[in-house]
Amino acid sequence: MTPADDIAFHKLKKIEIIVKGEKQAFVADLLSRAGTTGYTVIRDVAGMGHHGFHESRLLFNDQASLVLIMAVGTEETIRKVAAGLKPLFEKSSGVMFVSDTHVVRLEHFLKAATA
Amino acid sequence: MPEIAALLARVENAASLLPPYWPLRSFIAANPLQGLENLPFEQAVTEGHRRFGGRAYPTVAMARKALADGKIDRRLLAEAAIRHGRPGLAERLLDGTAEAAEATTAAGAERSAVNRVLLKWLAAFLDEGQAAWPMPHRELGFWRAWKRLAAHDGDVPDRERLADMADDAPTALLHLTRTLSDQESEELFARHLAALPGWSSYVKWRQSERSHPWAKAAPITLADLLAVRMTLAELTGEAVPGPVAGTEAEAADGAAILEAWEESYRRRLTADLAARAGKAARTPAGEGTRPVPQAQLVFCIDVRSEVFRRHLERTGPYETLGFAGFFGIPLAVRAFGDAHAYASCPVLLEPKHVVDEHAHPAHAHLAAKHLDGRARLAGMKGLLRSLKESVAGAFAFVEASGLAFGAAMAGRTLAPAGFGRAVARAADRLRPPVTPAPRVELHHPKDGCGHDHDHEHGEADPIGLSPGEHAFYAEAALRIMGLTENFAPLVVLTGHGGATVNNPFEAGLDCGACGGNRGGPNARIVAAILNLPGTRKALAERGIFVPADTLFLAAEHNTTTDEVVIYDPAAAESRHPELFARLQANLAVARAKAAAERTARFTGVSGDAVRHVETRASDWAQVRPEWALARNAAFIVAHRDLTRGLDLQGRTFLHSYDWQADTEGKALEVILTAPMVVAEWINTQYYFSTVDNTAYGAGSKVTHNVVGAFGVMQGNASDLMTGLPLQSVNAADTVAYHEPLRLMTVVQAPVARVDAIIARNPILQTLFGNGWVALQVIDPATGAIRRRTREGGWIDAPGADGAGTGAGAPATPADAASDTEATLIPA
Amino acid sequence: MPRILTNLVWLLFLGAIAAAVALVGGEPVTAGPLRLDALALLLAPAILFVSAIVHSFALRYMDGDARIDGFFVRLTALTLTVLLLLAADHMVLFALAWTAMGLLLADLIGHVRTWTQARAAAALARNSFLAGSALLAVGLALVHAATGDATISGALADLATADGTLLALACVALAIAAAIQCGLFPFHTWLMSSMTAPTPVSAFMHAGLVNAGGILLARTAPVFEAVPHAMTAVFLLGAASALFGAATALVQTDVKRGLAASTVAQMGFMVLQCGLGFHAAAMAHLVLHGLYKACLFLGAGSALSAAKRPDAAKDPLDAKAVLLALPVAVIAGGVFALVTGKLAGSLDTGAILVAFAAIAAAHAALALRGWRPDGFAALLIAAPLAIAATAAIYGVVVSFAEGALATVPGAVDPQALNPVHALVLLAFAGGWVWALAGAGRGSADALYTRLLNAGQPAGATVTDRRGFYNA
């Protein structure tokens, strides 16, 4: 038996959120309130969407450039996050993707929610 | 609970109506209607009136004066009036009947006991050092701390009910809105936030500013604010006021006046530029080498730079450039002897690097003495403050020190300049001045880098920039400003800052691109990077060859006195003694000229201009130390050749741009999406502070009352007065100085390139498409000037035919829809 | 117009200096209802100095104001009214000048006519001043009834034969009139609501006009001294305000209201000095506080520098602190007593003044504790020296005032110490130590909230919606 066989995969949900830089703080708060234990941010995201092509060239404007925020948690946690994003996207542009994912060290991704 | 997540999103949405308001020490311009920029201008100002009771357009009195002064062309006004269905407007303006249609600024509501209680507690909670005994329990957050103290507050009716409310603000808020739909809650939140818009805006800033020193000691969120306000409203039974009504006629008159005024200015500017552009297009590009100037001076794009640049260029073979005054590096600076770093870059950016300063080698022997003296001065200040606040000690202190205060008062009032110099001399004796020098190389800070910048900087992290970063920023800066060849022996990066005393709006005179700080430290840092042999080598590898004898210098332009101080003159004296001596002399000549131009803009000033501006800068009674960015109206992105020699009257932001060196449009994209956005903030702040100084401005300085060491109120207590004070936009109570015009951007580049950039940047589509900023493009090949319509079409710019004002088709949304598409010209 | 009036006030200032130099020390000069005595000669230059500075300051500060001529006319008229008040000997003239002063000041508080809350603040001040004027008129009428004299100087000379009950009633009326003018607790609300005034008006108000209450007490000092317990009552009135104002000032978060609360305290201290029988010292306090407060008001735009970081360290009140503070207090108190001769004879109310000087010195020493560069040992020597020198200056100033006003009846008339004095001193010392050690760290929620509310301006004078500010 190799060490790799020993590893168990735990099923969780992953959420990827793309918003303008000015909304990053709101999303970060939302994630933390919902009970995610951490998140990853990628700045200056490029892409094509409803508002046309968006390229990561903005050297001088963090507020208007897009950020991608990724987080993993239980379905319940991710639902809370989505519940907070849905009304947000009524007023400001952004997208979210939710998908199934697997993690190895489950305890790293669980914590009590404050909301 | 998912409900809470949704509720917080509703709060966030409701708060998007308000701009964040920065503390006065880093006075940041903001469009008070930032949250409405997604609407066309005309709708946004109407909505602004509904929400904030603010006036939308210049007043009839302003228009009448502008008409009389020839600033509004009468024919253009007649055309605009007809377009808006208000014929005869000019006549009505002149005979005084136009006032009838003009509603007075609606107070819009009844007195509010809720606001009074809220003002009291917000000021107590948000205080950043004014009170000797700060509000207890602030570390719990606003809602919880308030709940504890309100239990003792006789102004809060039925306060025993507070004990039943949730400790968590969002939970309490959820309870308060339990009977409402989501949309109803959001609308109610918006109204509650608009009840004290200035304070709400400050809370919005505080909530977002995680690195603020008070963020942990006194945390506050918009949900806290709403929970307190809505609880007070429930306990007192006070209704939150609904939107204010406006009149159609007033809006139509106002829109016509604004468009005519703008058009009058724009056509004159366009005619001036058209003459230059045509000539430039007729001369074939790259007709041999340009002569190398004796020095190149890079100034901030700030409108105040234009005046000085124009005068300096007349003195000798100097080339001047315009670039955002932080010179392109998102920096936090830890100044010499300071414990903490401060962000010195546009607020659009998070600082990504920390640079600390040490004493310049030539002053190293004074460093210890300087720091000792500084500590002594701080100790004295602390002693005075402590005695003032002493419960039983203040009485004898007042008697022992009264004469000294009296003497200081006389000196500051009767001989401000002399007194200022004497105080500076005394301070210099105690604390010998030390020129700082930045440490731009990556290194480990000896004694921690401070805690106020938690952006990925721990104690042990190295600070400074790596060689790769040096090269990256050096190249970006030079390319964006279009300085990639033909380097002069001296290249002076000139930051700027104002000079004023006893003025809470002091930071408003400093460099906006440096986050409301002085630009000198940034200039020093970037010059040091550009002088590193490693940077020069890396630049050469990237195709930018800086001659070995080119020396980058740092300087600071004092925008109040027009003095330009060059840091580290010794280096320049040893390398290029003659050039440098001549430059210094010419800077003095330019200064005198610029000062004379400046004093002409103040009323009742005579005598030596330089002395006058110096007195003004040091006078504690002076409410108008300088006009700062008043009358700004255009943002020109072009090579200086286009504007050199033109008197632009200090009204234009000038950003250097070389369309030939930027074939991919990368530099232009940066310029339009960042510096231009900041220029729009400044422009709209001036616009709205002028058209309604109560709703959008800060009111008169003479009744200002600084609160919490971060903002001002009017009189005994009021909303936090955001925006510019009356004296910054008006020459007198009833005489506007600023001309409230929206920004016009003029870009010297192929239309197709501009179109492509707009197409990939929603922020530009918003600003140009909704009429917040007008756009004209000068085709470099033909010299033709085209104006973009809001719908994205291009028409010949009115006024470009040199007729100045006249029959040219006005580009307004009403009639611009059917425009010709752009003629695409290959770059 | 503004320039002419400014020059006029400066000329008056020079004239007042000349008059003071020429006439002080001599017999009072009487001319009809006017009487120039040492008190008038000492205070006139001081008040004119502040007024002239305020005029000069306002030339630039108020530039562009729509009603600038009216502003300067009122400011100058107010100055002249105060001069008249100083020189008025006839009771009717004194009362008229007092009333005119109040009306002009109220009008300036409401300088911005289009601003509802400024008008409300003006109305509040006007009503307070009119009540004060009525009480003053009643008080002077009672003195007149008791003595039969129509001039103040005449009445003071005839107190020995006057009716005690009438005089006692007069004291009540005069003391309240003075308290209203000084903004003493519990009549401080008009003062805490007066920040709708343009800054130069506030400067002049706090430096020249609230003081009139002290001038009234000094002018009528012998009346109070003739009534049993009246002096102790005045002392208590002042002490209450001094404590109240000092405590309220601690919690103020805006600069101007903080200064106003401090004025409540300082005026309280001035009245306290009157109650101790040191009217001359009170006049010195009045002048010096005027200079101090005018400077701080005119400089109110510099208040951003008050910003602190939340982690700013506070030095503990430990043994080291006491070791430093105690000797400094003793030395400074001793120097002050020596210079002013306050403890030379029998133990009287002079001891209270010495105690306040000693507390201030101790406070200074404690504040210097954090002055690290010099080290504690250096501090042990330097601090007492510096502070003793300051105490000497303070002593010289008080002695000067006492000397200059020696001819004014009741100017220096120390009272016998009584338990009330001791209790009040104890209260101050206790409050001081508590503020040093506890306030800002403890969580006296109820006290904090009460102080915060006590310093609030009247509701009608708060601009509780942005649109109401309409200037």
B438-482 residue pLDDT tens: 999 999 876 444 444 444 444 457 899 999 999 999 999 999 889
CA–CA separation, A27 and A18 (whole Å): 10
Q: Which residues pair with A67 in a beta bridge?
A: A19, A43
Q: Using the predicted structure, report yes or no on whether residue B103 has a pLDDT greater than 70.
A: no
pLDDT digits (tens, 9 = 90+) for A22-51: 899 899 999 998 988 889 988 776 554 444
- The confidence score (pLDDT) of residue B678 equals 93
Residues of C with Cβ-Cβ distance to B501 under 8 angstroms: 302
Are C282 and C329 part of one and the same domain? no
Distance from the Cα of B620 to chain A's closest Cα (Å) equals 37
Are C289 and C318 part of one and the same domain? no
Which residues, including other chains, have CB under 8 Å from residue B677's CB and lie 6 or more apart? A61, A64, B348, B763, B767
Residue B348: inside a domain, yes or no?
no
CA–CA separation, B456 and C241 (whole Å): 52
Nearest residue in chain B measured CA to CA from A53: B760
Are C317 and C450 part of one and the same domain? yes
Nearest residue in chain C measured CA to CA from B406: C291
Residue B25: inside a domain, yes or no?
yes
Of B743, B827, B748, B745, residue with least CA distance to B784: B748
- The confidence score (pLDDT) of residue C375 equals 61
Are C341 and C218 part of one and the same domain? no
Which residue in B5, B13, B208 is closest to A33 by CB distance? B5
- The confidence score (pLDDT) of residue C366 equals 83
Are C288 and C186 part of one and the same domain? yes
Count of Cβ atoms closer than 10 Å to residue B182 Cβ: 17
Question: B760–A60: do the CB atoms touch at under 8 Å?
Answer: no
Are C81 and C228 part of one and the same domain? yes
Are the C-beta atoms of residues B260 and B72 closer than 8 Å to each other? yes
- The confidence score (pLDDT) of residue A64 equals 77
Structural tokens at position A58: 């903005």
Are C26 and C165 part of one and the same domain? yes
Which residue in B2, B168, B763 is closest to A64 by CB distance? B763
Residue B816: inside a domain, yes or no?
yes
Q: Using the predicted structure, report yes or no on whether residue B59 has a pLDDT greater than 70.
A: yes
Which residue in B108, B127, B395 is closest to C356 by CB distance? B395
Q: How many domains does one find in chain C?
A: 2
Over range C271-298, report the average pLDDT: 95
- The confidence score (pLDDT) of residue A47 equals 52
Chain A contact for B170, CB < 8 A?
Answer: yes
With H, G, I as helix, E, B as strand and everything else as coil, classify residue B151: coil
Are B671 and B755 part of one and the same domain? yes
C207 exposure class (CB count in 10 Å sphere: 0-12, 13-18, 19+): buried
Which DSSP helix (H) or strand (E) runs through C295? helix C279-298
Question: B677–A86: do the CB atoms touch at under 8 Å?
Answer: no
- The confidence score (pLDDT) of residue B814 equals 36
Are C272 and C388 part of one and the same domain? no
Residue C39: inside a domain, yes or no?
yes
Mean pLDDT of chain B: 90
Distance from the Cα of B248 to chain C's closest Cα (Å) equals 21
- The confidence score (pLDDT) of residue B461 equals 73
CA–CA separation, B507 and B343 (whole Å): 14
pLDDT digits (tens, 9 = 90+) for C302-344: 999 888 888 776 666 777 777 778 888 898 898 888 888 887 7
Chain A contact for B762, CB < 8 A?
Answer: yes
Residue C213: inside a domain, yes or no?
yes
Residues of B with Cβ-Cβ distance to C372 under 8 angstroms: 375
Mean pLDDT of chain A: 81
Q: Using the predicted structure, report yes or no on whether residue B287 has a pLDDT greater than 60.
A: no
Distance from the Cα of C182 to chain B's closest Cα (Å) equals 16
Which residue in C394, C453, C467 is closest to B400 by CB distance? C394
Nearest residue in chain B measured CA to CA from C395: B400
pLDDT digits (tens, 9 = 90+) for C214-260: 999 999 999 999 999 999 999 999 999 999 999 999 999 999 999 99
Q: Using the predicted structure, report yes or no on whether residue B503 has a pLDDT greater than 90.
A: yes
Residues of B with Cβ-Cβ distance to C428 under 8 angstroms: 391-392
Q: Using the predicted structure, report yes or no on whether residue A54 has a pLDDT greater than 60.
A: no
- The confidence score (pLDDT) of residue A49 equals 46
Over range C151-173, report the average pLDDT: 94
Distance from the Cα of C381 to chain B's closest Cα (Å) equals 16
Residue C306: inside a domain, yes or no?
no
Q: Which of A19, A61, A63 to mutate to test the interface with B (most CBs of B within 10 A)?
A: A61
Chain A contact for B670, CB < 8 A?
Answer: yes
Q: Using the predicted structure, report yes or no on whether residue B286 has a pLDDT greater than 60.
A: no
Q: Which residues pair with A48 in a beta bridge?
A: A53
Q: Which of A22, A41, A59 to mutate to test the interface with B (most CBs of B within 10 A)?
A: A59
Nearest residue in chain B measured CA to CA from C308: B129
CA–CA separation, B269 and B741 (whole Å): 13
**Distance of CA B786 to CAs B490, B658, B823, C176, Å?**
37, 19, 10, 76
- The confidence score (pLDDT) of residue A12 equals 92
Residue C46: inside a domain, yes or no?
yes
Q: Which of B298-312, C152-166, C383-397 has the highest mean pLDDT?
A: B298-312
Question: B391–C305: do the CB atoms touch at under 8 Å?
Answer: no
- The confidence score (pLDDT) of residue C371 equals 62
Residues of B with Cβ-Cβ distance to A61 under 8 angstroms: 348-349, 673-674, 677, 763
**Lowest mean per-residue pLDDT among B188-197, B313-322, C329-338:** C329-338
pLDDT digits (tens, 9 = 90+) for B506-555: 999 999 889 899 999 999 999 999 999 999 999 999 999 999 999 999 99
Which residue in B25, B120, B624 is closest to C307 by CB distance? B25
pLDDT digits (tens, 9 = 90+) for B154-187: 999 999 999 999 999 999 999 999 999 999 999 9
Going from N- to C-terminal start, the domains of chain A cover 8-109
One-letter identity of residue C180:
I
Residues of B with Cβ-Cβ distance to A64 under 8 angstroms: 348, 673, 677, 761-763
Expressed as residue numbers, the domain containing B422 is: 363-430
pLDDT digits (tens, 9 = 90+) for B744-799: 999 999 999 999 999 988 899 999 999 999 999 999 989 999 999 999 999 999 98
Question: A93–B762: do the CB atoms touch at under 8 Å?
Answer: yes
Which residues, including other chains, have CB under 8 Å from residue C138's CB and lie 6 or more apart? C170, C173
Distance from the Cα of A93 to chain B's closest Cα (Å) equals 10
Structural tokens at position C458: 């009247």
Expressed as residue numbers, the domain containing C428 is: 313-454
Are C181 and C294 part of one and the same domain? yes
- The confidence score (pLDDT) of residue B579 equals 96
Residue B71: inside a domain, yes or no?
no
- The confidence score (pLDDT) of residue B804 equals 47
* pLDDT tier, A57 (very low <50, low <70, confident <90, very high otherwise): very low
Nearest residue in chain A measured CA to CA from B480: A59
Residues of B with Cβ-Cβ distance to C115 under 8 angstroms: 714-715
DSSP class of residue B463 equals B
Of B567, B543, B570, B548, residue with least CA distance to B556: B567
Using CB atoms, list chains with 3+ pairs below 8 Å to chain C: B
Are C87 and C171 part of one and the same domain? yes
State in Å, rounded, how far the first CA of chain C is from the last one: 23
Q: Using the predicted structure, report yes or no on whether residue B142 has a pLDDT greater than 80.
A: yes
ipTM for the complex shown: 0.95
Higher pLDDT: C262 or B285? It is C262
Distance from the Cα of A5 to chain B's closest Cα (Å) equals 37
**Lowest mean per-residue pLDDT among B652-661, C19-28, C140-149, C280-289:** C19-28
Which residues, including other chains, have CB under 8 Å from residue B682's CB and lie 6 or more apart? B29, B512, B629, B632
Distance from the Cα of B764 to chain C's closest Cα (Å) equals 32
- The confidence score (pLDDT) of residue C198 equals 97
Q: Mapped to the 3 state alphabet, what secondary structure does B105-127 carry?
A: CCCCCCCCHHHHHHHHHHHHHHC
Are B637 and B604 part of one and the same domain? no
- The confidence score (pLDDT) of residue B707 equals 97
Are C131 and C231 part of one and the same domain? yes
- The confidence score (pLDDT) of residue C387 equals 82
CA–CA separation, C335 and C391 (whole Å): 6
pTM of the model as a whole: 0.93
Q: Which of B409, B505, B722 to mutate to test the interface with C (most CBs of C within 10 A)?
A: B409
- The confidence score (pLDDT) of residue B456 equals 43
Higher pLDDT: B102 or C269? It is C269
Task: Give me the percent of chain C exceeding a pLDDT of 70.
Answer: 95
Residue B92: inside a domain, yes or no?
no
Residues of C with Cβ-Cβ distance to B130 under 8 angstroms: 252-255, 258, 303, 306
Mean pLDDT of chain C: 91
Residues of C with Cβ-Cβ distance to B25 under 8 angstroms: 304, 307
Q: How many domains does one find in chain B?
A: 4
Q: Which residues of B806-821 are buried (b: 16+ CB within 10 A; e: fewer)?
A: eebebbbeeebeebee
* pLDDT tier, B372 (very low <50, low <70, confident <90, very high otherwise): confident
Higher pLDDT: B584 or A6? It is B584
CA–CA separation, B4 and C201 (whole Å): 51
Are C351 and C278 part of one and the same domain? no
Q: Do chains A and C touch (3 or more CB pairs under 8 A)?
A: no
Domain end among B216, B236, B256: B236
CATH architecture of A8-109: 2-Layer Sandwich (3.30)
Percent of residues in chain B assigned helix, strand, coil, to nearest 5: 50, 10, 40
**Lowest mean per-residue pLDDT among B10-19, B381-390, C165-174:** B381-390
Which residue in B2, B13, B208 is closest to A79 by CB distance? B2
* pLDDT tier, B597 (very low <50, low <70, confident <90, very high otherwise): very high
Residues of B with Cβ-Cβ distance to C376 under 8 angstroms: none
Are the C-beta atoms of residues B612 and B618 closer than 8 Å to each other? no
CA–CA separation, C342 and C354 (whole Å): 7
Residues of B with Cβ-Cβ distance to A91 under 8 angstroms: 13, 16
Residues of B with Cβ-Cβ distance to A60 under 8 angstroms: 324, 328, 346, 348-349, 670, 673-675
- The confidence score (pLDDT) of residue B822 equals 32
Residues of A with Cβ-Cβ distance to B755 under 8 angstroms: none
Are B653 and B551 part of one and the same domain? no
Are the C-beta atoms of residues B616 and B622 closer than 8 Å to each other? yes
Question: B9–A86: do the CB atoms touch at under 8 Å?
Answer: yes
- Cβ–Cβ pairs < 8 A, chains B and C: 386
Are the C-beta atoms of residues C181 and C132 closer than 8 Å to each other? yes
Are B218 and B272 part of one and the same domain? no
* pLDDT tier, B241 (very low <50, low <70, confident <90, very high otherwise): confident
Reported in sequence order, the residue ranges of B54-175 that DSSP labels E, i.e. its strands, are: none
One-letter identity of residue A79:
R
B165 CB-side CA count, 13 A = 29
CA B355 to chain centre: 23
- The confidence score (pLDDT) of residue B454 equals 42
